[in-house]
Amino acid sequence: MGSYEQTTPMKKQQVLGSFSYYDSSGIPALDDLTIIEGTSPDNTTYKVPVTDLRSLPSPLSSYTHEKHGFQIVRQPLPISPSSASVHNHKYMTNKYYPAMTDLLRKTLGARCVVVRKHSIRDMPSWSEIGMNPEIGFSIESLAPFNIAHADHTPAGARAHFRAIKESNWFSENDTADEECTSPKERTEFFRLRREIIEAEDRAIAEAGLDPEVQGETTLPKGGHWDWDGANYEGPRYAFFSVWRPFETVHRDPLAVMDMSGRWPQEHAWRYLSGQSPEEVYLIKFYDSEALVRKEKGDDEIALLCPHSAFYISGTEKEPVRRSCELRVWGIW
């Protein structure tokens, strides 16, 4: 199920895609939501070439999150793609989540995989629904997000991990039903999480960093916020987006940036033309092992993967993209 080969590659094929970039050298204010809304004067639209992965000589199965920052896994769609089904929250948590965590455990060899949340994108544009980033994109239907981004800094990913409250985290995320997660899985996740944080805190203490300080209007500092990930000896853990369409994609495809470093002079945007529901992206937000290796002079493991939806001229009348993203923690 997890391996994936493609047909004989053609000559390298590219399309011209429109991407929005935050185009300022400065650090934005904490409360500046206009960047995410796409209304900031510092946002600039660029048209850049995007290479079809199907046209490259490497088989799709050769792309790995460790080398490229993303991975492509083939899996038959395990649920009904009907709008009623995918907008049924309990159906998604009890049917789709377990199918995907099982896939990731087998594909990545992880000891523990848990889902934080999911989002559905099946609207043509944000103008129809409005965008309020303060609610965390938690509305039922979202539009494609065409701002180039990587979701989390290492410190930001660690902050999310540390913010998990053991008392009610699975209940709050509607993942406490045994159809979704077993008591054993939940216990193991919390046990490993404690082990990870204890190991991080030891490394932070060894680094002699000041205690963590957070303010409502100032950037956090100290503690894990200033830590470079060095001397960590706990379990490896990572944060992923697990992204797939519910129907073949004809507009607003998702692009991923190849982080293998073979194209240093350009933003190496890649995409899957006509991506089908059986083709699943694993897109990395954070990987503790990348920082451990970097400390030792090894940059072979990708830390994260920038990504973005993008617009292709002439696709305006194509069917609206219907897709789903899971945010998933994996621990080895």
Asked if residue 25 belongs to a domain, the reply is no
pLDDT over 90 (residue 31) = no
Give the model confidence (pLDDT) of 200-211 as tens digits.
Answer: 999 999 999 998
Residue 241 structural domain: 34-331
pLDDT band at 5 (very low <50, low <70, confident <90, very high): low
Confidence of residue 29 (pLDDT cuts 50, 70, 90): confident
CA distances from 148 to 7, 189, 301 (A): 29, 31, 21
The predicted structure's pLDDT at residue 311: 96
pLDDT at site 273: 98
Q: Which range (127-136, 191-200, 268-277) has the least confidence? A: 127-136
Give the integer Cα–Cα distance in Å for 237 and 199: 12
Mean pLDDT of all residues belonging to the chain:
91
Q: Is the pLDDT of residue 130 over 90?
A: no
Residue type, 259: M
261 pLDDT band, cuts 50/70/90, is confident
What pLDDT sits at residue 265? 63
- Residue 128 confidence (pLDDT): 60
Residue 301 domain-assigned (yes or no): yes
Q: Which two tokens stand for residue 156?
A: 């930001």
Q: Is residue 40 part of a domain?
A: yes
Domain-located, residue 12: no
- What percentage of the chain reaches a pLDDT higher than 70? 92
Q: What is the pLDDT of residue 7?
A: 53
The span from the CA of 148 to the CA of 22, in Å, is 8
The answer to the question of residue 9 being in a domain is no
When pLDDT is cut at 50, 70 and 90, the band that residue 290 belongs to is very high
Number of domains in the chain: 1
**pLDDT tens for residues 36-49?**
777 889 999 999 99
* pLDDT beyond 70 at 331: yes
Mean pLDDT for 225-237 is 96
Least confident of 106-110, 219-223, 250-254: 219-223
In a domain, 137, yes or no: yes
Decide if pLDDT at 98 tops 90: yes
One-letter amino acid for residue 268 of the chain: A
Quick one: pLDDT at residue 99? 98
Q: What is the pLDDT of residue 133?
A: 55
* pLDDT (average), residues 245-249: 99
The answer to the question of residue 116 being in a domain is yes
**Could you give the CA distance from residue 319 to residue 309 in angstroms, rounded to a whole number?**
15
Q: Is the pLDDT of residue 68 over 80?
A: yes
Q: List C-alpha distances in Å: 328 to 63, 170, 300, 331, 332.
A: 19, 13, 23, 10, 13
- pLDDT at residue number 137: 53
In this structure, is residue 19 part of a structural domain? no
pLDDT for 72 equals 99
